[in-house]
């Protein structure tokens, strides 16, 4: 295989962040920002006391991409409101099973505070001394999560908070307080232990991980997804918003088409094999599976009642620049190499013979060469969803 490719998960998430930035479904993203800005504007209760913080929980947060994308949007919306004199604090909790992701997420604060939009925000950070314990398994990183459901109960304890930061951001004549906390562990465990506390639940490119149970083979491979979704929604208050962007829909395309060659496994076959590892029935269509579940839970009381507000596509599209021969940024090229690496390593892991293995490697080498030449175009179908939890889970 392309043994010289150095897959680095944090670098992958950085590259993915750039690709996501371009494609998020606008109406859902705008509505989330408007809803949050409006909630934050309610800075004083009738008695004059400071209102409680707005709580956002971001599960499977990676390196905090949604947080850093959201802050400038909120600042812009808040700075447009001359009529508000006191803003509610924002409490933003990041949850991830990979400690290194969380450390990266919190460490980004200082650099972010120097961005023009931050307007010289003040930042204070705390870190708990590093311990290892992350999985180094690529499939677990990108594609599967073995930890969920191992521990569905148990309170989040303070030693699992690996880092936190306090930002003070200038909004007109006031300082808006933002508390960022990074909790290391399983999202379901966190949600079960903090019921009905979050005003907003965010899960980006997260539920894709739960179409297949690593330890069991459910007859219906959305059963695990349903139970994880139900578990995570517990964290949300009635009337709170959930935002689930970038859920893959089992469709990938590459261009230009590869010429048929006896030595190379046909791309269509490889993609079918790749998708088959994401669930026998759903074949990677997690966006549709998630949307169907949420649609089923609309208007019913069990297991909880939700209402979908916005649903739309956020297809990844990474194409060479107009002149060809290169990509708009090195992040695009790195992202493509990661996607090819993931498909090739998944297909290698399920190869039935040496010849099959060589066929996968031959495909991989040709597609990598197309990235090096700046000619490979890639698209993948994703879905974003925004909704409201009308009644908390039973």
List of residues contacting ligand SAM (CB under 6 A)? 13, 16, 59-62, 65, 95-98, 101, 145, 147-148, 186-187, 204-206, 209, 246
Joined together, the tokens standing for residue 191 give: 């949600």
Q: Which is nearer to ligand SAM, 203 or 304 (CB)?
A: 203
Whether 24 and 204 have beta carbons less than 8 Å apart is answered as no
Q: Which is nearer to ligand SAM, 148 or 370 (CB)?
A: 148
Q: How far is the CB of 373 from ligand SAM (least distance, A)?
A: 28
DSSP character string of 329-360: SHHHHHHHHHHHHHHHHHHHHT--SHHHHHHH
Q: How far is the CB of 245 from ligand SAM (least distance, A)?
A: 8
Q: Which residues on neighbouring strands pair with residue 241, listed in sequence order? A: 200, 388
Helix H, strand E, coil C: the string for 3-53 is: CCCCCCHHHHHHHHHHHHHHHCCHHHHHHHHHHHHHHHCCCECCCCCECCC
Q: How far is the CB of 187 from ligand SAM (least distance, A)?
A: 4
Of 110, 125, 132, 243, give the one whose Cα is nearest residue 182.
125
Q: How far is the CB of 176 from ligand SAM (least distance, A)?
A: 24
Q: How far is the CB of 347 from ligand SAM (least distance, A)?
A: 19
Residue 392: exposure state from Cβ atoms within 10 A (0-12, 13-18, ≥19): middle
Q: How far is the CB of 132 from ligand SAM (least distance, A)?
A: 15
Q: How far is the CB of 184 from ligand SAM (least distance, A)?
A: 9
Backbone dihedral angles phi then psi of residue 209, each to the nearest 5 degrees = -75, -10
d(CA 266, CA 259): 9
Q: Which is nearer to ligand SAM, 84 or 187 (CB)?
A: 187
Q: How far is the CB of 204 from ligand SAM (least distance, A)?
A: 3
d(CA 110, CA 115): 9
Q: How far is the CB of 42 from ligand SAM (least distance, A)?
A: 28
Of 80, 74, 94, 65, give the one whose Cα is nearest residue 160.
94
Q: Which is nearer to ligand SAM, 101 or 265 (CB)?
A: 101
> What is residue 190's three-state secondary structure?
helix
d(CA 56, CA 154): 21
Q: Which is nearer to ligand SAM, 138 or 368 (CB)?
A: 138
d(CA 24, CA 1): 33
d(CA 318, CA 315): 10
Q: Which is nearer to ligand SAM, 61 or 182 (CB)?
A: 61
Q: How far is the CB of 213 from ligand SAM (least distance, A)?
A: 12
Which segments of the chain does DSSP mark as H helices, in order?
9-23, 26-40, 65-79, 99-113, 138, 187-193, 223-233, 267-276, 286-296, 330-349, 354-372
Whether 209 and 65 have beta carbons less than 8 Å apart is answered as no
């Amino acid at each position: 295989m392309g043994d010289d490719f150095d897959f680095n998960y944090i670098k992958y998430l950085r590259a993915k962040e750039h690709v996501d930035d371009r494609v998020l479904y606008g109406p859902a993203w705008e509505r989330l920002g408007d809803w949050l800005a409006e909630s934050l504007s309610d800075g004083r209760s009738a008695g004059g006391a400071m209102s409680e913080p707005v709580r956002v929980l971001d599960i499977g947060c990676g390196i905090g991409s949604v947080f850093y994308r959201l802050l400038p949007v909120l600042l812009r919306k808040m700075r447009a409101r001359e009529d508000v004199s006191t803003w509610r604090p924002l409490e933003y909790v990041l949850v991830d099973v990979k400690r290194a992701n969380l450390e990266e997420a919190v460490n980004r604060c200082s650099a972010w505070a120097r961005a023009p939009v931050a307007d010289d925000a003040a930042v204070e950070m705390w870190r708990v001394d590093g311990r290892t314990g992350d999985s180094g398994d690529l499939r677990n990183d990108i594609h599967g999560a073995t930890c969920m459901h191992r521990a569905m109960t148990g309170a989040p304890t303070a030693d699992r908070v690996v880092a936190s930061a306090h930002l003070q951001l200038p909004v007109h004549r006031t300082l808006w307080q933002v508390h960022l906390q990074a909790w290391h562990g399983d999202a379901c465990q966190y949600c079960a232990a903090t019921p009905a506390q979050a005003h907003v639940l965010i899960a980006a490119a997260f539920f894709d991980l739960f179409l297949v149970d690593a330890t069991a083979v459910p007859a219906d491979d959305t059963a695990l997804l349903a139970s994880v979704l139900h578990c995570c929604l517990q964290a949300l208050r009635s009337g709170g918003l959930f935002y689930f962007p970038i859920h893959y829909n089992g469709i990938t395309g590459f261009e230009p088409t590869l010429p048929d060659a006896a030595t190379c496994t046909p791309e269509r076959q490889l993609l079918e094999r790749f998708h088959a590892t994401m669930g026998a029935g759903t074949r990677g269509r997690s966006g549709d599976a998630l949307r169907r579940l949420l649609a089923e839970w609309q208007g019913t009381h069990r297991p909880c009642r939700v209402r979908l507000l916005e649903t739309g596509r956020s297809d990844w599209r990474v194409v060479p620049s107009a002149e060809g021969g290169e990509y708009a940024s090195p992040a695009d090229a790195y992202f493509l190499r990661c996607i090819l690496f993931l498909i090739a390593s998944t297909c290698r892991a399920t190869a039935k013979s040496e010849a099959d293995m060589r066929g996968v490697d031959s495909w991989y080498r040709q597609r990598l060469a197309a990235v090096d030449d700046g000619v490979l175009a890639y698209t993948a179908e994703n879905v974003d969803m925004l909704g409201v939890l009308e009644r908390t889970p039973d």
